[in-house]
């Protein structure tokens, strides 16, 4: 059945194409045959005195139309297959020209006519000669082409807008996909690892719809909506899929961009249609993914005086969610990673009563996510899930799923029958640092500088108390970096100035090592300097961790500074901020140099081992420095 439908659509397409080609051909042929040649008066009187002119018509006292006799018609005119020859001889003029003085022309015409004994007819036409029949004959083909073209375009637009028959009137219909009990949705809350707090609130929403009397008998009201907020990949859409799998009520799913269209009023029409369908299916759930596509705060970055289709769509959504006659069991779920730009009217109680934060998973939650994704993989018995969870701080659920998939691909590439721990570490390296480039040509002196640079990072991170301990360091090029080191950062909710300074010191250790060993520095510390500058700037400007600036933060959580060109502090304060940032960085740079100079032999030993093996692990640093001690 599907193949027949596709075939019939293709047949209709070719029929339209052939019809358009035929009409275009006729139109252009007709226009080419009916284009008279423009001449001047001198040329006219030359052919006039030869007796070739049958008749002339003077229109509006300024334009002369010249009709030639039958025997003087061009060969092309005589063999024209589309126009009757008799009609050409009687109705078609071959030349035209303009005259200045009508009396002078008429007098000269009469003189030549009498002198050469000619019977040429002269006529005058000052009224409008177009009739409805003639207008349709001249422009009818073009109008037919235009109508066919627009019918074809509207059919295509209607087809993309949904609805039977692909009619243009369906463009205002909602594009939401409906899931009900007949759909086999296999994702449930058991498939959503971690996110326990978010799952509890979402499960409660499902319970609201299943047994509303349990909550309303005490006088409570069912929430109108819940907004899922979180970074990309944290599981917002997965939660919504689980709701669709768990709920025994109809579930409408669509994206915020599905409301947006180039035609004015379409977005608002689709919102109305969506809620009308939802009310018919009540109780039900509407899920709008990426709601920031239509929910952006009104008045920002819009052209003054313009009719913003997105704002019209948002206004209609606000009305449907909390307007007159909205006492129905329809709950709206929405997801976004840009909650800071959403309109305040959308976030108020009565519309989105609940805001559910979907944070990146913690250590135990990452372990649960690994267990879900590792079920389908063939693993070695030595694979340590706890170790993998510790190696992925800050990773989202999507990142962990990608790591599991990459590890399987790496193991298959190496012709292994099982996935090992090393494959997971290689997958993490691949995702964080990029593809390994062992064939990249590096000069020996550059390779030595890279080794000392990375050894400096590894050494300082091992010796400082608050710096993240090393997991792996390598001088094999990967992605855009010539060398890299992986650390195991401590998962903490609060950070002190001492911890931030230790991190800055560890980042500056690479350049410090270069200066100590080679008495010069290179451009290899670009990424380190960028991180250091942002870290020091956040200490002074955002977190109020600087004594000279004091307990002041210039951070704007509302995002209003994005739309202004002025700084929230004076020029004098800006100068102090610059000085304090430079002071923090210079102090930690000197500190890193002092630590490295005091341990220069161990630094050289570590760098030489790195040159020899290219990759060193935590155990290698233990052999050189012993267990971590924090005397620095």
Show the beta-strand stretches assigned E in 256-329. Answer: 284-289
Query: How far apart (Å, rounded) are the C-alpha atoms in residues 295 and 353?
Result: 16
Query: How far apart (Å, rounded) are the C-alpha atoms in residues 616 and 458?
Result: 10
- Beta strand 470-474 with 615-617 is antiparallel
Whether the CB-CB separation of 87 and 30 falls below 8 Å is answered with no
Among candidate residues 60, 70, 72, 64, the one with its CA nearest the CA of residue 39:
64
**In this structure, how many other beta carbons lie within 10 angstroms of the beta carbon of residue 276?**
12
Of 261, 406, 454, 514, which one is the catalytic site residue?
Answer: 454
> Partners of 330 in the beta sheet?
284
Query: How far apart (Å, rounded) are the C-alpha atoms in residues 602 and 620?
Result: 12
> First-to-last CA distance in the chain?
77
Cis peptide before 83 (omega within 30 of 0): no
> Partners of 254 in the beta sheet?
288
**In this structure, how many other beta carbons lie within 10 angstroms of the beta carbon of residue 31?**
12
Whether the CB-CB separation of 154 and 160 falls below 8 Å is answered with no
Write the DSSP symbol of residue 39: -
The answer to whether 454 is a known catalytic residue is yes
Among candidate residues 294, 293, 290, the one with its CA nearest the CA of residue 320:
294
> Partners of 230 in the beta sheet?
358
Whether the CB-CB separation of 31 and 140 falls below 8 Å is answered with no
Whether the CB-CB separation of 285 and 249 falls below 8 Å is answered with yes
Whether the CB-CB separation of 94 and 77 falls below 8 Å is answered with yes
How many helices (H) and strands (E) the chain has is answered by 23, 14
**In this structure, how many other beta carbons lie within 10 angstroms of the beta carbon of residue 338?**
14
3-state secondary structure of 330: strand
Whether the CB-CB separation of 524 and 507 falls below 8 Å is answered with no
Residues contacting 148, CB < 8 A, separation 6+:
16, 19, 20, 23
Q: Residue 78: enclosing H or E segment and its boundaries?
A: helix 75-78
> Partners of 65 in the beta sheet?
57, 96
Given the structure tokens 């710096």, which residue do they identify? 467
Show the beta-strand stretches assigned E in 73-224. Answer: 95-98, 121-125, 177-179
Whether the CB-CB separation of 279 and 330 falls below 8 Å is answered with yes
Query: How far apart (Å, rounded) are the C-alpha atoms in residues 519 and 535?
Result: 27
| Per-residue tokens: 183 | 């759909």
| Vertex 473: Cα angle to 467 and 475 (nearest 5) | 135
Write the DSSP symbol of residue 443: -
Maximum CA extent, the chain? 127
Could you give the residue numbers annotated as active site? Answer: 454
């Amino acid at each position: 059945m599907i193949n027949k439908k596709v075939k019939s659509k293709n047949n209709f397409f070719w029929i339209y194409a052939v019809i358009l080609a035929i009409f275009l051909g006729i139109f252009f042929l007709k226009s080419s045959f009916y284009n008279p040649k423009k001449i001047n008066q001198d040329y006219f009187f030359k052919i006039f005195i030869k007796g070739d002119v049958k008749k002339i018509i003077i229109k509006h006292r300024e334009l002369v139309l010249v009709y030639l006799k039958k025997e003087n018609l061009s060969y092309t005119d005589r063999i024209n297959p589309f126009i009757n020859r008799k009609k050409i001889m009687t109705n078609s003029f071959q030349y035209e020209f303009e005259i200045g003085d009508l009396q002078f022309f008429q007098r000269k015409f009469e003189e030549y006519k009498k002198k050469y004994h000619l019977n040429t007819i002269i006529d005058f036409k000052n009224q409008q000669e177009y009739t409805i029949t003639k207008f349709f004959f001249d422009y009818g083909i073009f109008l037919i082409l235009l109508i066919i073209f627009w019918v074809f375009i509207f059919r295509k637009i209607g087809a993309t807008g949904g609805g039977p028959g692909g009619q243009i009137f369906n463009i205002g219909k909602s594009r939401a996909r409906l899931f009900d009990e007949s759909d086999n949705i296999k994702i449930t809350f058991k498939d959503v690892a971690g996110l326990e707090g978010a799952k509890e609130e979402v499960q409660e929403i499902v319970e609201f719809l299943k047994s509303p009397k349990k909550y309303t008998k005490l006088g409570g009201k069912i929430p109108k909506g819940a907004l899922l907020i979180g970074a990309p990949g944290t599981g917002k859409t997965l939660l919504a899929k689980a709701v669709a799998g768990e709920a025994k009520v109809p579930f409408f799913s669509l994206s915020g961009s599905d409301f947006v269209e180039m035609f004015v009023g379409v977005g608002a029409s689709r919102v109305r249609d969506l809620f009308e369908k939802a009310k018919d299916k009540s109780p039900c759930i509407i899920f709008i993914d990426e709601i920031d596509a239509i929910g952006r705060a009104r008045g920002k970055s819009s052209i003054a005086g313009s009719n913003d289709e997105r704002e019209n769509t948002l206004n209609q959504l606000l009305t449907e969610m909390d307007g007159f006659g909205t006492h129905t069991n329809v709950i709206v779920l929405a997801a976004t990673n840009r909650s800071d730009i959403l309109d305040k009217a959308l976030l108020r109680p009565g519309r989105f009563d609940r805001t559910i934060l979907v944070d990146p998973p913690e250590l135990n939650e990452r372990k649960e996510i690994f267990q879900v994704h590792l079920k389908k993989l063939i693993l070695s018995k030595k694979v340590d899930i706890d170790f993998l969870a510790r190696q992925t701080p800050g990773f989202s659920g999507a990142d962990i799923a990608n790591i599991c998939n990459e590890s399987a691909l790496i193991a298959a590439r190496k012709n292994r029958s099982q996935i090992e721990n090393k494959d997971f570490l290689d997958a993490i390296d691949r995702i964080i640092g990029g593809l390994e480039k062992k064939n990249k040509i590096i000069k020996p002196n550059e390779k030595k500088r890279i080794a000392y640079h990375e050894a400096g990072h590894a050494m300082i991170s091992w010796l400082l108390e608050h710096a993240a301990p090393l997991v792996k360091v390598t001088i094999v090029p990967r992605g855009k970096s010539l060398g890299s080191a992986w650390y195991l950062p401590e998962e903490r909710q609060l950070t002190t100035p001492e911890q931030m300074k230790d991190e800055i010191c560890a980042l500056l250790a690479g350049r410090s090592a270069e200066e100590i060993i080679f008495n010069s520095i290179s451009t290899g510390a670009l990424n380190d300097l960028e991180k250091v500058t942002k870290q020091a700037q956040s200490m002074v400007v955002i977190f109020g961790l600087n004594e000279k600036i004091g307990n002041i933060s210039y951070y704007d959580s509302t995002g209003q500074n994005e739309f202004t060109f002025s700084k929230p502090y004076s020029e004098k304060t800006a100068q102090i901020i610059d000085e304090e940032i430079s002071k923090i960085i210079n102090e930690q740079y000197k500190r890193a140099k002092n630590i490295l100079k005091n341990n220069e032999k161990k630094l050289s030993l570590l760098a030489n081992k790195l040159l020899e093996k290219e990759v060193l692990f935590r155990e290698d640093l233990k052999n050189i420095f012993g267990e971590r001690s924090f005397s620095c």
